[in-house]
Structure 1
Amino acid sequence: MDNSSFGSYLKQIREQKNWSINQLADLAGISTSQISRIENGKRGVPKPQTIEKIARALNVPYAEMMDRAGYLRPEENQQTPEWANSRDKRDFKKMLEEDGELMFDGVPLDDEDKQRIKDVLTGLFWEAKQMNKRNPVAPDDRRNRS
């Protein structure tokens, strides 16, 4: 989905509720200028954390907004970005499969919360991988980072 499509989708939901940009921004805890840039396609698709705030404010299912934003869900045959090589795909699969008991404050998370965490991790993982491809670290630098 391109930036303007997600922005149009967001604007449509906001207008259906008869909310101003200010109202949505206040309820979501993000700036009015960020909402405006998203709706007008002048900003990239928001990060999963921002989408979660907007989804909560609008009372729209988080998974629906993530799908509309073009984020991938693990159960959808895990398509990967075009630039990802086999090593990247292996790393991602390993990250998702290392699935111990997820807890918050001593309480196990339910399946919906686990899925939210996986969605956020998916976005962050591919974003970090892409940034590393743009700014490769020399082999000597990797050893010095440890």
Structure 2
Amino acid sequence: MSETQFGMYLKKAREQKGMSVNHLAAASGISNAQISRIENGVRGIPKPETIRRLAEALGEDYGGMMEKAGHISEEHKQQIPEWATHKDKRDFKKMLEEDGEVMFDGIPLDKSDKQRIMDVLTGFFWEAKAMNKRKKPPASEKKE
């Protein structure tokens, strides 16, 4: 979804809730100027933390808004294991929200490089969660 499309989506969601830009700003803690720039496609796609605050203020599904913004693709959604609990999914979303500038050797990574890194991290995250969920052998079976 482009910046303009996400902006139109946000504006429609806000208007459907009967909220003004100022009301959404007060409810989300995001400035009305920033919301206006997002809605007009000037600001670009917001960071996950901004989307979380907007979703909460609008009473919208955070995952749905993340998907609309292009932060979560169908490919990533399919990588979530069936055994993942609500808490596991929340932990993963929290990891994704920590959206700082990603750099290598002092040079910011482009979108393609960031996506490849996120794909690898996604695999590692769910693999680690699966390992933690495996039953540990009873104390009597442990070697001394």
Structural RMSD (CA)? 2.5
Q: Does 1:132 align with 2:108?
A: yes
| Number of residue pairs matched by the alignment | 101
* 1:17 shift after superposition: 0.9
Code of the aligned partner of 1:21: V
Q: Does 1:68 align with 2:45?
A: no
Give the whole-Å Cα distance in 2 for the aligned partners of 1:133 and 1:6. Answer: 23
Please report the TM-score for the alignment, with normalisation by the length of structure 2: 0.61
Give the whole-Å Cα distance in 2 for the aligned partners of 1:75 and 1:37. Answer: 29
Unaligned runs of 5+ in 1: 79-108, 135-146
Higher mean C-alpha displacement, 64-73 vs 50-59 = 64-73
Give the whole-Å Cα distance in 2 for the aligned partners of 1:53 and 1:6. Answer: 15
Please report the TM-score for the alignment, with normalisation by the length of structure 1: 0.61
Structure 2 counterpart of 1:34: 34
Structure 2 counterpart of 1:22: 22
Unaligned runs of 5+ in 2: 81-85, 111-144
* 1:76 shift after superposition: 4.1
Give the whole-Å Cα distance in 1 for the aligned partners of 2:109 and 2:19. Answer: 41
* 1:132 shift after superposition: 2.5
Give the whole-Å Cα distance in 2 for the aligned partners of 1:34 and 1:113. Answer: 26
